[in-house]
Amino acid sequence: MQESAAFTPQLAASTITGILWLIPAAPMIASGLIALLKQPRRKLAASLAIGSLSISLLLSFVAFCHVVAGWARGSVVREFVNFTWFRYGSSTVDLGWVLDPLAAIMLVMVCFVGLLIFIYSVGYMAHDENFTRFFCFMSLFAGAMLGVVVSNSLLLLFMCWEIVGLTSYLLIGFWYQKPSAAAAAKKAFVTTRVGDIFFLLGIVWLFSQTGTLLFYNHGVGSLEPLALAVLLTQHAGLGLSAAGAIGLLIFAGAVGKSGQLPLHVWLPDAMEGPTPVSALIHAATMVAAGVFLVARVYPLMAAGVPTLANGGLNGTTTALTVVTWVGASTAVFAALIAIAQNDIKRILAYSTISQLGYMMAGLGLGGVAVGIFHLITHAFFKALLFLGAGSVIHGCHEEQNIRRMGGLRSDMPLTFVTYAIGMLALCGFPIFFSGFWSKDGILEAAQHWDISKGPFYLLVFGALLTAFYMTRQVCYVFFGHWRGHETAHESPRVMTVPLAILAFFAIALGVIGTPAWPWFHAFLENRAVKFDLHGFAEPGLLALMLTSSLIVFLGLGLGWWLYDNKSPEPEAPDALEKSAPLLWAPLRDRLYVDEIYGVTVIAFYAWWARVADWFDRRIWGGIVAAITWLFGLWAQFNRFLDVHWVDGGFDKTCEELSSGGGLLSRVEGGRVQNYLRILAAAVVALAAILLWSSRP
C-alpha cells in the first residue's frame, strides 16, 4: 500500500514545530550536565535524566496532538524547519527537522517507553556504583534517538544515527571490566559500521544526484517528486534505478542497525549490557531506528512503482522486494535459533531480531503503516518482556540461565502476570493483544503479494516458532519447581509499576490498528477513518485471522506439551533435544554464523592486519631505517670532512704558520754569537759582491 494523496503544502511552521528541536535537545543537555556531576550525586543525575525526558514527552504529546488535530481537520501536517549549516562556494549544506505523523508517533513512543525504562532503571541500577554514568549515557542515547526521529535531513539523521551507535557501544560495554562486555561492545560497533559504510555511500550518491539531503524542502527535497523523478531516470544496473539503488544502500545501514540477516551477530552479544539497556536500546528504540529509517526514505524505495497498468506486479520495486526477502528470512532464521537458547535475555534478543524481520517484511510488503504499526506494538511488549526478564534476573539474584529457574509463578506473581501478557502479545494471541493485530496486518500484506508467496509461508512458520519458543521460555522460568540456589523474591515497586503500565499498552494498542477501525494506518497515510465493523468483511481477512490464531495455538500447545511443568534438571538434555538431537545442536550453536564470520571475514582481517604489520615493519620501517642510515652515513662523511679537511686544513695552516714562525724565530735565538755570525756572513757577501762588480 502506498501513501495516497499528497500532503497539504505547508504555509508556515507552527509554534510547536518551531520548538521541536527541544525534544532531542533536552535529554542531550541533561546528559552533558550529568557528565559534569560526580558519581555520588545519584538522585540529581536520575532527576535530570527523567526530568528532561519528561519535558520531551510533554512536547511530543503537544506535537502529536497538533498533528492529530490537523489530520482530523482533513489536512495532514508536514511541517518542517530548515536552516543552513554552512556554505561552501555557492552551495550550502542544510539541516532541519520535520513534524509529520510518522515523526509524531515515533516521538511519543520513544519518549514514553524511554521514560518508563528510566524510572525502572532507578530501581534496577540502585546497587551499581556507576549509576550516574549510566544515566548520562542513557540520556545521550534518548536525545540522539529523538534526533534521528525528528530529522529532516539525511545528514542530520546520519549524525544522530552515529551518536546512537556510540551510546549503544558505551552502554553495552557499561561493565567494561568484563572482557565479554567489552568484546560485545566492540562487536556491535564494528558490525553496525559495516552497514553504515553503505549508508554513507547512499548519502553521497543521493547528494550528488539531487544536490540536497533534506527530505522535504518546499518541493525540492530529496524525497519529493522532483528529485525522485531525476533519480528514476538514472539506472544503476540489475534492474534498479538510482532511487532504488540508493534506497538499498540506505537499507544496508538499517540492516546493520536493526540486526537483519547477515549483520545480526551483534545483537545477542549486546545482552552483556544491563537489562534496561537491552530493553530500551535493543528492543524498543535503537533497533527500531533501522525500521524507522526505511519508513522515512520509503518514497525513495517505492519510487517508480510499476502499477498494474504497465505490466507490473502489485506495486512494488526491486528495492522493496529485497527488503521483504531479507526481513522474512531473518524472521525465520532468528526464530529457529531462539528455540535452542538457555539464556533468558538471549532468547529475547533472537526474538527481537525475528520481529525486526517481521517489521522489515511489513514495510516491504505493505508499506509504511503496516511496518510501523508492528514497530510500535513491538516496542511496548518487547520492552515489557525485557523489563520483566530484568525483574526475574534481579529476583533470582543475577541468575540468567532459564534451566536454573522455575516455579516463579508463585514467587513473583506480578512479574509473572505482566510477563505473560507480553509473551502472549508477542506470540500474537488473538483478539486481545496488540501483537495479533500488528502481525496480522503483515501476514495480510504478505498474502496479497503477487511476486511470491514465499514470504507469507516463511512468516507463518515464524509465527509458529515464536509461539513455541516463548512457551518454552515461560514454562522453564515460571512453571514447574525452583531449580536455583537461593529463593527468589518479587522486585520492588519502582520496577513493577512500569511493567504494569507497559502491559496495559501491550493490550490497549491493539485497538487502534484493527481492521474495524484502522486509525493508525489512516493517520499515517493521511486518510479519513471511521469505525466500521465491515472492515472485517474484507475477502480472506477472517480466514487469515483464523489461520494465524490456529498457528499460535499450535505453537503454544506444542510448547506446553514438551515443557509444561516438567522442569528438567539443568544438566539434563532439553525435551526437544531428546527428540531431535541433530536439529538441536546447530540451533543451539546459533547456526554457526559467528563461526563462519570468524573463519572468513575475521580471519581475513587478521591476516590482512598481519600483512600490513609486516609491511609496516619491514618495508616502511626498513625505508625509514635505510634513510636514517643514509643520514648517519652522510653525517659521518660530513664529520670526516670537517675533522680532516676543514679543521685539518685550518689546523694545518696554523701549524705551518706556527712552525714557520718557529723557524723564523730561530733567527732571533737570543744568542749573540749567532747574530754576529750572520752579520759577518752578510759582510762577506756584500764585500764579495762589491769587489766582483768593481773588477776592471
Partner 1 sequence: MNVVFYLLAAITLAGGLAAVLLKHLVHCALATTVAFAGLALLFLQLDAQFAGFAQILVYIGAVAILIVFTILLTRGSELPKGGVFSRTWFVGLVIAAGVFAVLAWAVLESVRGIPQQTAVPAVTVHDIGNALVGRYVLPLEIVGLLLTAATIGAVIVAMHEKERRQ
Partner 2 sequence: MTSMGMTTPLAGYLLVAALLFAIGLAGALVRRNAILVLIGIELMLNAANLNLIAFWRFGPHPEALTGMMFALFSIAVAAAEAAVGLGLVIAIHRQTNTTELDKIDRMKG
Chain residues binding partner 2 by CB under 8 A are 665, 668-673, 676-677, 680
Q: Which three cell numbers stand for residue 475?
A: 514454562
Q: Which does 668 bind (CB under 5 to 8 A by kind): partner 2, partner 1, none?
A: partner 2
Q: Which CB sits closer to partner 2, 72 or 685?
A: 685
Q: Which does 695 bind (CB under 5 to 8 A by kind): partner 1, partner 2, none?
A: partner 1
Phi, psi at 224, each rounded to 5°? -95, 160
Q: Which does 691 bind (CB under 5 to 8 A by kind): partner 2, partner 1, none?
A: partner 1
Q: Which CB sits closer to partner 2, 550 or 687?
A: 687
Dihedral sign for Cα 302, 242, 293, 25, please: negative
Q: Which does 40 bind (CB under 5 to 8 A by kind): partner 1, partner 2, none?
A: none
Phi, psi at 624, each rounded to 5°? -60, -45
As measured in angstroms, the least distance from the Cβ of 659 to partner 1 is: 21
As measured in angstroms, the least distance from the Cβ of 653 to partner 1 is: 32
Burial per residue of 592-622, b for 16 or more beta-carbon CB atoms within 10 angstroms, e otherwise: eeeeebeeeeeeeeeeeeeeeeeeeeeeeee
Count the Cβ atoms, other than its own, within 10 Å of residue 309.
6
* CB of 444 closer than 8 Å to CB of 361: no
Burial per residue of 513-524, b for 16 or more beta-carbon CB atoms within 10 angstroms, e otherwise: bbbebbbbbbbb
As measured in angstroms, the least distance from the Cβ of 694 to partner 1 is: 9
Q: Which CB sits closer to partner 2, 4 or 673?
A: 673
**Closest CA relative to residue 97, chosen from 88, 89, 346, 106:** 106
As measured in angstroms, the least distance from the Cβ of 692 to partner 2 is: 18
As measured in angstroms, the least distance from the Cβ of 649 to partner 1 is: 36
Q: Which CB sits closer to partner 2, 413 or 669?
A: 669
As measured in angstroms, the least distance from the Cβ of 681 to partner 2 is: 10
Helix residue ranges per DSSP H, 302-367: 318-339, 344-366
Q: Which does 672 bind (CB under 5 to 8 A by kind): partner 1, partner 2, none?
A: partner 2
Which residue, chain included where needed, has cell 759577518?
A: 680
Q: Which does 669 bind (CB under 5 to 8 A by kind): partner 1, partner 2, none?
A: partner 2
As measured in angstroms, the least distance from the Cβ of 680 to partner 2 is: 6
Q: Which does 687 bind (CB under 5 to 8 A by kind): partner 2, partner 1, none?
A: partner 1
Phi, psi at 589, each rounded to 5°? -90, 20
As measured in angstroms, the least distance from the Cβ of 638 to partner 2 is: 40
Q: Which CB sits closer to partner 1, 600 or 674?
A: 674
Long-range contact set of residues 408-412: C-beta below 8 Å, sequence gap at least 24: 408/477, 408/478, 408/482, 408/488, 409/478, 409/479, 411/482, 411/487, 411/488, 411/489, 411/490, 412/488, 412/489, 412/490, 412/491
Q: Which does 670 bind (CB under 5 to 8 A by kind): partner 1, partner 2, none?
A: partner 2
Q: Which CB sits closer to partner 2, 511 or 685?
A: 685
| Start-to-end Cα distance in the chain | 147
Q: Which CB sits closer to partner 2, 543 or 686?
A: 686
Q: Which does 542 bind (CB under 5 to 8 A by kind): partner 1, partner 2, none?
A: none
Q: Which CB sits closer to partner 1, 657 or 685?
A: 685
Q: Which CB sits closer to partner 2, 12 or 672?
A: 672
Helix residue ranges per DSSP H, 173-285: 179-210, 225-232, 242-257, 266-269, 275-279
As measured in angstroms, the least distance from the Cβ of 668 to partner 1 is: 17
Q: Which does 69 bind (CB under 5 to 8 A by kind): partner 2, partner 1, none?
A: none
- Give the interface with partner 1 as residue ranges (CB under 8 A): 673, 677, 680-681, 683-684, 687-688, 691, 695
Helix and strand numbers, DSSP H then E, in the chain: 30, 4
Q: Which does 684 bind (CB under 5 to 8 A by kind): partner 2, partner 1, none?
A: partner 1
* CB of 395 closer than 8 Å to CB of 477: no
As measured in angstroms, the least distance from the Cβ of 665 to partner 2 is: 6
Which residue, chain included where needed, has cell 481477512?
A: 541
As measured in angstroms, the least distance from the Cβ of 666 to partner 1 is: 13
Q: Which CB sits closer to partner 1, 626 or 683?
A: 683
Q: Which CB sits closer to partner 1, 623 or 683?
A: 683
CA distance 284 to 468: 22
CA distance 585 to 683: 128
* CB of 35 closer than 8 Å to CB of 125: no
